[in-house]
Amino acid sequence: MAEAGFWDDSEAAQSLVSELSRLKVAIKPLEELTEGADDLGVLLEFAEEDDTGDSEAEMVSTADRLEKLLGDVELQAMLSSPEDPCDAYVTVQAGEGGTDSSDWAEMLLRMYLRWCERRGYQAELVDRSDAEEAGIRNATIGVRGDYAYGYLKGETGNHRLIRISPFDSAGRRHTSFAAVDVTPELGEDIEIDINWDADVREDTYRASGAGGQHVNKTDSAIRLTHLATGEVVQCQTQRSQHKNRANARKMLIAKLYQIEQEKRDAELAAKRGQKSKIGFGGETVRNYVLHPEQYVKDTRTSHKAGNPTNVLDGELDPFIEEYLRWGLSQDES
């Protein structure tokens, strides 16, 4: 990075800066633990000669801090897959349940956006298709941050909401479904053999969104369909068709890479949550119950939170951490 001309190729330079950041994230806590162990040794010697109890109190405080740091390091060590350090694409799609499911899909989208804010990650809306009455049919966000994919990969699957419907004049309880799909942003380093002319159908369309002076007057939005697998991605957030195409291609590469990974290890795919019917009869990874009880429960780890409001406001870390520990135990068994 200190070499002259390092920033001449901004894309390559940014890639190297990101790699350095990930290395620092891995190394810094280990250095802190090593220094902390030395500090504890010194404090122990002081405590043996200190009758005031100050050294003992400081030792206990240091031990508590190191215990939390050790837990963070152990959690980081669980993110050992090559794609775990990558940025991520998160797609939310409404399932069975009509307007309630469209509204539920938008609630999930907001939940992930709030989680990104809590962690200091950047989130960019890549694509959004609004439903007729309320909520969204589907939407995709790009999440930028260290180990974004590693932390979010366990969110893949069907999410079920049980509540009194705000769209039912009779005030009855409704069950809604929405599917979440998380894929790593692999950039262009990964080798996926795609003939963009023969293997992929490209469609252009006019981007939707607010009107006024910023309304899209050209067919700048891009939809790509991989003919062999039927995988579809689309991007409409940029005014430039070229930029939308580049983003859509990255998304498609990520999806095809994930498909290949899951083919090579079908058991791992099942643990991460297979795609199934988004509704009754399909497997769910998490239930959000707002009536008559109030709780959120993960069906894989059995982790349960008694305040759905906090979870829907982005307090997802306990569920994410439990999933990573559960995944590690499944691998060992």
Domains by residue range for the chain, with CATH? 6-69 (no CATH), 87-185+275-332 (3.30.70.1660), 200-262 (3.30.160.20)
Q: What is the pLDDT of residue 189?
A: 56
Give the tens place of pLDDT for each residue, 160-207: 999 999 998 888 999 999 999 999 887 655 667 788 888 899 988 776
Predicted pLDDT of residue 18: 78
Do residues 58 and 43 make contact, with C-beta atoms less than 8 angstroms apart?
yes
pLDDT score for 277: 56
pLDDT tens per residue, range 100-112: 999 999 999 999 9
Residue 135: closest CA among 115, 161, 153: 161
How much is the pLDDT for 214? 42
* Positions in the chain whose pLDDT score sits under 50: 210-215, 217, 268-269, 271-274
Q: What is the pLDDT of residue 24?
A: 83
Contact 216, 239 (CB under 8 A): yes
Measure Cα distances from 178 to 157, 291, 320 in Å: 9, 18, 18
Question: Do residues 92 and 136 lie in contact, with contact meaning Cβ atoms separated by under 8 Å?
Answer: yes
Whole-structure pTM value: 0.71
